[in-house]
Amino acid sequence: MRTRILGLTLALAAGFGAGAALAQTKAPARNWNTTVTVTPQGHHVLGNPNAKLRLTQFVSYTCPHCANFEKQADAQLRLTVVATGKGAVEVRNFVRDPVDLTVALLTNCGPADKFFLNHAAFMRSQDKWIAPLASPSPAQRARWTAGAFAQRTRAIATDFKFYPIMASRGYTRPQIDKCLADEALAKRLAVSTQDAQENLFVSGTPSFAIDGELLAGTHSWSALRPQLAARMQAN
């Protein structure tokens, strides 16, 4: 009897050991909605960087249609594309004007994992801050277009109340000013915009590409959604 009990005990111990080993080797599910990587060109990607499908958005922060797209599509993209690990979303800034450039300097400010929340903060509040762009005074126009680079971007940030937006995201005034003075980034954004125009034939915003193929005539979530769904199903 003692021998039988000892054998049973050893068997149970072996079973528990195997179960523990299995639990240790089973990796937890990856939260792709918190995974942000940066391409060699400096563009931010949300989701699995090795996903079979890559949706690229070409957006401008002073484009009302881009703001509408963000509000309509972001949650659905995160749920149906990013969370699955089968698709990823890349944002490329398509700079149209000095105000747009200033916002892009701020959304790109700081660690990569802050980009998409910075991006959403400006897009979703666009209707609250964009008003001065419609009818600027001569003095404002001069401040935005003349003088040293950092002087111009700080004037824009002041006139459009960008400092409080960034402060709500946890940035200090010195951090904000440092990002507003990043002329090297401004030049890279200009090169990226030119590349999108000349090589990908992007002519307006928002525009979209799937796996590097520009979707002609697609400038809204309602137009993009069925094409994206078909590609996701194919993958």
**Confidence band, pLDDT 50/70/90 cuts, at residue 235:** confident
What is the maximum alpha-carbon separation in the chain? 100
Span 98-137, pLDDT tens digits = 999 999 999 999 999 999 999 999 999 999 999 999 999 9
* CB within 8 Å of 98: residues ≥ 6 apart: 144, 145, 152, 153, 156
Could you give the residue ranges of the DSSP H alpha helices within the chain?
2-25, 64-77, 98-107, 115-124, 126-129, 138-145, 149-159, 162-168, 173-180, 183-199, 221-234
What is the pLDDT, as a whole number, of residue 234? 85
On the question of pLDDT at 20 being above 60, the answer is no
Span 31-46, pLDDT tens digits = 999 999 999 999 999 9
Tokens (6 digits) for 52: 């079979």
Among 6-15, 27-36, 164-173, 179-188, which stretch is predicted with the lowest mean pLDDT? Answer: 6-15
Residues 192/93, Cβ–Cβ less than 8 Å: yes
3-state class (DSSP) for residue 75: helix
Q: What is the pTM of this model?
A: 0.87
Give the domains, in start order, of the chain with CATH numbers.
Answer: 32-234 (1.10.40.110)
Alpha carbon separation from 188 to 30, 105, 157, 185 (Å, rounded)? 32, 11, 20, 5
Span 179-199, pLDDT tens digits = 999 999 999 999 999 999 999
